[in-house]
Structure 1
Amino acid sequence: MPTHYQAAREPSHFAKRFGLACSPEASLVRPGQQGWFVRRPRADGTAQDPLARFEIAPGRWGLIPLFSKDGQDLHTHEARSETAFAERNFYQPWKRGHRCVILADAVFQDGDGDDSTVRVSRIDGQPLALAGLWNGWRSPVGECVESFALLTFGLPDHPEQRRTAILRDAWIDDWLHCPVEETAAYLRPYTDDKLARDTLPFDAADGPLAGQRDLRQ
């Protein structure tokens, strides 16, 4: 499963794909920390531009369910695509169509050994479009805290091995705007020959996290 990811750092990626002006910081993002996600504009009157097709928002990586009492929920950074529609933590965002895209230059996953990690990126240098679910949670003091989870799937021959769901470029718009009943159709393995998987010593992927903050603080 994903352990952390390298957020996309080029503003041109957001402008080209979504028509959004965004200057994200180059940073590693770990569960519980802030990242940026793209979604279709909210329908509750709080959208940045109701006429736009996309909007970008900051949120905690680790989805906070609506029923959470304190926002301290654990193990919600990954949603299993096979069961998310029925899981207590994720079924409400799933049925509401709260889908999102997280642009990442690379995703880091556990390697075969305890002292290694696998860096997954696109061979062509373009960012990965990671499929996710997002949610808005109202804290006890009335603050709206937004959060997201990355969707994963098991390999057919090794279901215990999880892969992060990566969207094909042509699917991004449809993923964000399709009916709920079509959601699962886009959660398929990405073409392996278009991905680079580099095994690194664990500390080689453990870069600085300056400027990161936990949204629960």
Structure 2
Amino acid sequence: MCGRFASTTPPEAVARRFKTTGQVPNAAPSWNVAPSQPAMVVRRHPETGERRLDLLTWGLVPHWTNDLAKARKPINARAETVATSPMFREAFQRRRCIVPADAFYEWQAQESGPKQPYAIARRDGEMLAFAGIWEGWHGPAGEILRTFAIIVTAANEDMAPIHDRMPVIIEERNWPAWLGEEDGDLGAMLHPGAAGLLRIWLVSVRVNRPANNGPELLEASQ
């Protein structure tokens, strides 16, 4: 699972890091991005082929959806089935994206009491680049809704003590192939991050509520 993440790097810096072109979105920092909220996504523009940074809504709505109110809107897709699932396979083939994040959160089950939240970031201080897929849904009144989901896989050695799943992290050398700018072995990219890649620390249960949003959410908790 990946159900919450932090996106606090200014859009201009994200655009430089991922070498995107075009207008930079007006995105406020968020320490608690939650499903159904907008987030910055790096994608290849379907018409121009340019690498763009855009705001998309978290929770995938396939283009063939008839009833938006009843749509499932999954926030994650499993790496093991993303290429074959009817819900995800077309987006995986044609509309892959990268979701930049400064950290993400995961909850560890306890023998008693509530789950314990942790924050997870790259140990080297670089931004995380989650593997994602995106869709464009066109409504009957001409409205357009662009959405995304994050691909998750089995946990690596860092994450396994907390949870059995983690987001797929795309390394910089694979960004062009993942975005469809060049050929590459996509299946080989859908693996857990290397051991030692991540830094993990306890955080406050305040992150449990999406309404809580501030830098204190990433502070280490005792």
Structure 1 residues 152 and 112, CA, compared in 2 at 3 Å: closer, same or farther? same
Aligned 8 A contact 1:121 1:196 in 2: yes
Aligned to 1:208: 212
Q: Distance in 1 between matches of 2:80 and 2:45?
A: 26
Q: TM-score, normalised by structure 2?
A: 0.79
Aligned 8 A contact 1:2 1:110 in 2: no
Structure 1 residue identity aligned to 2:4: H
Structure 1 residue 209: deviation in Å? 4.6
Aligned 8 A contact 1:9 1:25 in 2: no
Structure 1 residues 204 and 16, CA, compared in 2 at 3 Å: closer, same or farther? closer
Aligned to 2:44: 40
Aligned to 2:17: 16
Identity among equivalent positions (%) equals 23
RMSD: 2.6
Structure 1 residue identity aligned to 2:205: F
Counterpart of 2:185 in 1: which secondary structure?
helix
Aligned to 2:60: 63
Structure 2 residue identity aligned to 1:65: P
Size of the aligned set, in residue pairs, is: 201
- Give structure 1 stretches of 5+ with no counterpart: 44-49, 211-217
Aligned 8 A contact 2:18 2:42 in 1: no
Aligned 8 A contact 2:177 2:184 in 1: no
Structure 2 residue identity aligned to 1:147: T
Q: TM-score, normalised by structure 1?
A: 0.81
The reply to whether residue 175 of structure 1 matches residue 178 of structure 2 is yes
- Give structure 2 stretches of 5+ with no counterpart: 215-222
Counterpart of 1:12 in 2: which secondary structure?
helix
Structure 1 residues 181 and 84, CA, compared in 2 at 3 Å: closer, same or farther? farther
Aligned 8 A contact 2:118 2:203 in 1: yes
Q: Distance in 2 between matches of 1:135 and 1:51?
A: 16
Structure 1 residues 75 and 135, CA, compared in 2 at 3 Å: closer, same or farther? closer
Q: Distance in 2 between matches of 1:145 and 1:51?
A: 20
> Which deviations, in whole Å up to 9, do the C-alpha atoms of 1:116-155 show, x marking residues without a partner?
1121101222210011000001123221110000000124
Structure 1 residue 174: deviation in Å? 2.0
